[in-house]
Each structure stands twice: as C-alpha cells, then as structure tokens.
Amino acid sequence: MTPREIDTLIQRLHDGALEDLLGLALDDLLARPVSDLVDPAFVASRITGAVRKCAADPETEGRLRAQLAALRSSTIEPGPDGRAFPRGDTLRRLVPPEISDSVEALLAEPYLPDRELVLRLMDHAAMHSLIQEVLHASLTRFARKMRSFKPDTSRLTAGLRRAAPVPPGLSRLRSIGSGVVSAVGSELESQLDQRVGDFVSQAISAVMAHIATLLTAPERADTMGDWRAHGLRVALDTDLEDFAAEGRKLDLDRAVQVTLQALETLAGRETLEQDMRAHLEATLAPLGEATLGEQLRATGLDQAWREAWLSWLARHLDPLLETTAFRAWLQNWLGTDRPT
C-alpha cells in the first residue's frame, strides 16, 4: 500500500473504525460463558508462580517498602499545614449516596446473630480483662460510696460535751468504741478490693453470658440495627484527617515484615496451586454456562461495563495508531507481497 493509502486507513481508524472494532470484541466477550473466559488451572498456576517468585526475590522487601512508603506519603502524611486532608473533608464525599444509603439500609435490618456464636467471639482474654476491670472499678466505687453514707455523730458528741461533763467511765468507753469503729473501718477498707476482685472473677462468665443474651435478644433487633447504621454514619462523617492520624500510627517496618512473612508462608504451602484452583472452580461452578453479559445484566451493569471498557481501550489504543511501529506493521500486513 502507498503511504497515502496508509494515512487514509489510519484516519478512518481514528474516525470510528477502531471504536467499532473494539465494540465487536467486547460484544463477543459478553456473549461467551464465564467458564470459557476463566481457566482455573491456568490462573492458579500463574498466581502460584508469581507468589513463589516474589517470595524468593531478595529485592521484594525493598520494592514493598518503597510502595508502602509512597502510598503512605500520597495519602496520610501531613502537608505544610500539618494535615493530610482539608478540615471537614470526610468519606461521605468519596462514596456515592446510592451506595452509602443502600449499605446503611442493609446494616439497619433487624438481624440478630446466634447467641452461642457471639459468646464464642467474646470468650477471649482481652474481653475478660476489659469486663473485669470495668466491673471491679464500678463495684469498688459503689461500695465506697455506700460507706460514705454512715451517720455523722460528731455534732451529737460535741453537743453532749457542751451540755454536761462526761463521766470518766463513759469517756473511756467512748474512746474504746471509737477505736473499735476505726479498726473495723480499716479492716473493711483493706478487704474491699480483695472481696470485689473475688466476686468479679467468679461473676465474669455470667456477665459475658448476660451480654451475649442482651446482644441477641429479639426485642433488641431494631435497636442493634440502628446501632450498626449509626456506626456507618459516624465513619462516613468523620474527618479523613482523623483516619490519617490513625494510619500514621502504623509502623512501616513492622508492616513490611508482617507482609513478607505472610508471603513466605503462603509461598511455602505445598497445596497452594491445588487449593487456589479448587477455590476458583467453586466460585465459577454456580455460574454454569451463563455468559458474562447475562451476569452483568443481572446486576444492571452490562452497559456501564461495556462503555467503561470501550472508553478505556479507545483512549489508550488511539495514540498507538500514530506510532511508527504500528504504521510499519500495517504496511507489512496489508502489503501487496502478502498472500491472499
């Protein structure tokens, strides 16, 4: 083909032929069964190979550290004003209302988990310690408050002293009585913490069972649903700077080491490829022979998916048409010396 004919063909591709061709390719993909588009054995093999190669590569730690540092720098590190995000900037700005409203409605549903499941989740040393400390502090404060209500006899004693002299025998008896009261009070004070501690230790299981019962009580279903939705609203309306401040507490070195350890453990798993293949097959099995287009239509995303991919491909491939390499390929492919 002559250079002018090549120019004409490339211009036609720019003017819509390329987009038409990409549209045909996407329509073909949408018409194919999902099982034809994903080969579990192939995907599992490639992922397993990538994981093991990455785990064995001595440069992985440096790349991971650099990527995490770059991510941290671009998201949560404070700028010149000491903040990573403007004041008042929240997650709600980033989440479309259609999504946040739907998720909030779902969380607010009157769902109640199984009581035994809740109890098993709570049955941990951290939760035991937390409840024990709260109970101990509350009961100790209550006991001391109750003892502070004892009658104040100082005014009565002073009045009697002014009214008439106290006989020596009665004075000694009063002194003995005051000493007894003081000794008893001191003993009670010294035993209070131990008594409360013993009671709390014995009561902790019953308290946890009571909490689990309250959390799963049918009459609390609506209230617990409102609480879950409240949690989402709080998260959406919290300043991003508050989340950034929490993120800055993460130790970068520790995060790198934990990630590397997890990667090495995963890579060392002998059945990694078989397990991954089994998971992929189990995921694809319910789809049967349904096409990709049918799956997307079921969620109402078929047109959005097609348009998004068409736009992305056209935007990235259109500049390719002007490269010398593409022109040479086209000239070679459509040249007169090629067999017909």
Digits of tens for pLDDT over the chain (340 positions)? 788 888 999 999 999 999 999 999 999 999 999 988 999 999 999 999 999 999 999 999 999 999 999 999 999 999 999 999 999 999 999 898 888 999 999 999 999 899 999 999 999 999 999 988 988 888 888 877 766 655 555 554 555 455 555 555 545 545 544 544 444 455 555 566 677 777 888 888 888 999 999 999 999 999 999 999 999 999 999 999 999 999 999 999 999 999 999 999 999 999 999 999 999 999 999 888 899 999 999 888 889 999 999 999 999 999 999 999 999 998 888 875 544 4
DSSP of 75-100, one letter per residue? HTS--TTS-SS-TT-BGGGTS-HHHH
**The model's pTM:** 0.67
Residues 6+ apart with CB under 8 A from 23: 306, 310
For residue 3, the model assigns a pLDDT of: 85
In a domain, 94, yes or no: no
Pair (323, 276) in one structural domain:
no
Pair (71, 122) in one structural domain:
no
Pair (128, 212) in one structural domain:
yes
Other CB atoms within a 10 A radius of the CB of residue 114 amount to 10
Pair (254, 324) in one structural domain:
no
Q: What are the Cα distances from residue 324, in Å, to 12, 13, 17, 53, 317? A: 17, 16, 19, 36, 14
Pair (127, 200) in one structural domain:
yes
In a domain, 263, yes or no: yes
Pair (134, 198) in one structural domain:
yes
Rounded to 5°, the CA angle 101-307-316 comes to 120
Q: Which of 216, 232, 250 lies at the terminal end of a domain, its last residue?
A: 216
In a domain, 168, yes or no: yes
Pair (124, 200) in one structural domain:
yes
In a domain, 170, yes or no: yes
Pair (265, 308) in one structural domain:
no
Identity of residue 287: L
For residue 261, the model assigns a pLDDT of: 96
Domain span at residue 327 reads 1-32+291-340
Half-sphere exposure of 218 (CA within 13 A, CB side): 0
Pair (140, 186) in one structural domain:
yes
For residue 171, the model assigns a pLDDT of: 53
For residue 180, the model assigns a pLDDT of: 45
In a domain, 207, yes or no: yes
Contact 109, 225 (CB under 8 A): yes
Tell me the three state secondary structure of residue 121. helix
In a domain, 58, yes or no: yes
In a domain, 93, yes or no: no
Pair (270, 296) in one structural domain:
no
**DSSP assigned state of 299:** T
Phi-psi region of 152 (alpha: psi -120 to 50; beta: other; left: phi over 0): beta
In a domain, 104, yes or no: no
Pair (121, 178) in one structural domain:
yes
Pair (138, 164) in one structural domain:
yes
Domain count of the fold of the chain: 3
